[in-house]
Structure 1
Amino acid sequence: MQFQVPIQIKPFDTPVTYRDNILLIGSCFTEHIGNYLGEMKFNVLQNPNGILFDPMGVCNSLVSYMENRQYTTADLFELNEAWHSWMHHSRFSNIDAAEGVRIINESQQQAHAFLQKADWLIITLGSSFVYKLREGGRDVVNCHKAPAQWFNKHLSSIEEIVTALDGTLHRLFHFNPHVKVIFTISPVRHIRDGVVDNNRSKARLIEAVHHLVNKLDRLYYFPAYELVIDVLRDYRFFDIDMVHPNYPATQFVLEHFTASCLDKDTQALMEEIRSIVIARKHKPFHPTSKQHQTFLQKHLEKAERLQQQHPYLHLAEEMQFFRQ
């Protein structure tokens, strides 16, 4: 008997490899993918503005990277004894406005340079809802716990989402002619919107993204949302909040990502790198023992061999660790 709906994910005709530079942007599920790829020693940059949920925030952020926009203290606002940016996650907030601007602009410059040479852009969209300031009407990607009456909440239409993403992608392909884009929809439920509106929100994202993938070259879709909601479809695969996919669900999605987005040679190399990463995390009972020194030497030689065979890998930290 089958206890799951089978899903067939067609492998990408152009797979992701270790030679690629990968920029990830979007919801918190973006960071599950980014952390996984980063730990496996892919060259990644994730969420230069911090976590973003809606398409408008993603588009505005990408445009700011292409333009290498530099912020000033006039772009920040003060709330609860800290300075914040409406376009950035609270990890960029600071009690000193000048320092906050410095950190934001450093991230902007890094994103501009990375996007210019990126081979892949992975966009994970979480919600169709957009928040706008009532005074001025500007889009807000993070409310920073400001009073609810400061904002208007708007459910973007499919047409609005398609128009925003389409325009941004055309600018992106002029800025970086060889970049390819993977879209995913976050399986995280936005229960604060209510079950009905959460489903309306996700449906609009899915429809808009598929419209673009069918229309433009170099766009791909990876079904992270469908893997959790339609294949696993069980609350035992969610965290205690019943909103976020738990570790087994996340690993399930990442296994399918590996199988469909990476070619066989890259997967084989990943397994070798995985053994080095695990070895670095090993906590010995007797660090000075001959057995442990042999263990370190063995993995140092393996890391050096891989680095020599694949000079584009970034294994310097691992090799330094094993030498010590």
Structure 2
Amino acid sequence: MKLQTEVPFVSNENNLIDYSSEVLLLGSCFSENIGQRLEYFKFRSNQNPFGILFHPRAIENLIENAIDNKIYTEDDVFFHNEQWHCFEAHSKLSNSCKNTLIDKLNAQVKFTERYINTASHIIITLGTAWVYNFIDTDKVVANCHKIPQKQFKKILLSVEEVSSALNNILSKIKSINFRATVVFTVSPIRHLKDGFIENTQSKAHLLAAIHGVIANKSFYFPSYEIMMDELRDYRFYAEDMIHPNSTAISYIWEKFQKVWLSNDALEIMHNVDAVQKGMQHKPFNPTSAAHLKFKKQLEVKKEGLKALVPHFVF
């Protein structure tokens, strides 16, 4: 008896992620869920140097600025609610000191450029096609930083506008790193503050645009479809009934592994997991002979993994 509809997968045999890969993840908070798993298993990866970016125009802007070596100045920041902010970055970069924020923005944009240059894989998660245009400057922002909504114009990007942003993202990346494998995905997190119907329309625009640009240029991973079709039950959601819970994230991660991680990497991950769990173990008696033996065995496992993958740091 089959009790679940399953999203079919086409096995990917080329450009798989292994422990020699460098992975950059950009976009909606779902990219951070996958990024945290890659980090846990000690892959060389980095996620959202400018913080979470929800829409394609914000991601396009970051990539353009990084590759064009933009230098941020005081003209790019503003003061609000006792903090300095930048409309192009998430509030996690905001700071009470203007110069600290500017220095951080310039450091992160340089880091992004270097990582785009060397990345073997760039995973981009799109969250919404709704954007906010700051009326004073007539520019789309990445984050509103709790400025009153009346100062913005809310706009739904058309499929053509999303496609244009994605094509520009791909073109910019390939201009400095033609070897990079780009994987698009749509966040399964529903932006219900936009409205139920509006969220569905937004996701539809993202999906239509992605499938219009990926042919022979990039790839698509169906995290949105897995959540909507395979995990269509509220027991897979967090208490807010919007975000996937840890079970759902683990399920989607398992699917991602099957498609995008090499068999060699999967074998090493098993041993990394054993070490990570061992390090989290809290003994009843830290000085007991049994625990001292356990610690010694754990060190042997660490050294064995470091011999296989020199960049490992536990």
TM-score past 0.5 threshold: yes
Report the TM-score, using the length of structure 2 for normalisation: 0.97
* 2:2 corresponds to: 2
* 1:210 corresponds to: 211
Unaligned runs of 5+ in 2: none
Helix, strand or coil: the match of 1:292? helix
Runs (4 or more) in structure 1 with deviation over 4 Å come to none
Amino acid at match of 2:128: S
Helix, strand or coil: the match of 2:214? helix
Deviation at residue 254 of structure 1 after TM alignment: 0.6
Deviation at residue 4 of structure 1 after TM alignment: 0.8
* 1:171 corresponds to: 172
Distance across 2 between alignment mates of 1:57 and 1:13: 31
Q: Deviations over 1:110-132 (max 9, x none)?
A: 21211110000000000001111
Helix, strand or coil: the match of 2:72? coil
CA contact (8 A) 2:6 2:226 kept: no
Distance across 1 between alignment mates of 2:29 and 2:195: 19
Amino acid at match of 1:212: V
* 2:90 corresponds to: 89
Q: Deviations over 1:88-118 (max 9, x none)?
A: 1111111110111112222122212111100
Aligned pairs for 1:222-301 within 5 A = 222-301=221-300
Amino acid at match of 2:271: E
Deviation at residue 68 of structure 1 after TM alignment: 2.6
Amino acid at match of 1:204: H
* 1:103 corresponds to: 104
* 1:28 corresponds to: 29
Aligned pairs for 1:85-234 within 5 A = 85-214=86-215, 216-217=216-217, 219-234=218-233
CA contact (8 A) 2:63 2:172 kept: no
Correspondence for 2:312 among 293, 314, 324:
314
Distance across 1 between alignment mates of 2:67 and 2:279: 37
Deviation at residue 308 of structure 1 after TM alignment: 1.2
My pick for the range that moved more, 150-159 or 290-299, is: 290-299
Distance across 2 between alignment mates of 1:161 and 1:171: 15
Amino acid at match of 1:307: K
Deviation at residue 3 of structure 1 after TM alignment: 1.6
CA contact (8 A) 2:71 2:106 kept: yes
CA contact (8 A) 2:54 2:127 kept: yes
Deviation at residue 69 of structure 1 after TM alignment: 1.7
Distance across 2 between alignment mates of 1:148 and 1:7: 39
Distance across 1 between alignment mates of 2:288 and 2:206: 56
Distance across 2 between alignment mates of 1:66 and 1:11: 32
Deviation at residue 309 of structure 1 after TM alignment: 2.3
Amino acid at match of 1:314: F
Deviation at residue 134 of structure 1 after TM alignment: 0.8
My pick for the range that moved more, 261-270 or 219-228, is: 261-270
CA contact (8 A) 2:60 2:165 kept: yes
Identity %: 36
Report how many residues are paired. Answer: 313
Q: How big is the alpha-carbon RMSD for the aligned residues of Structure 1 and Structure 2?
A: 1.1
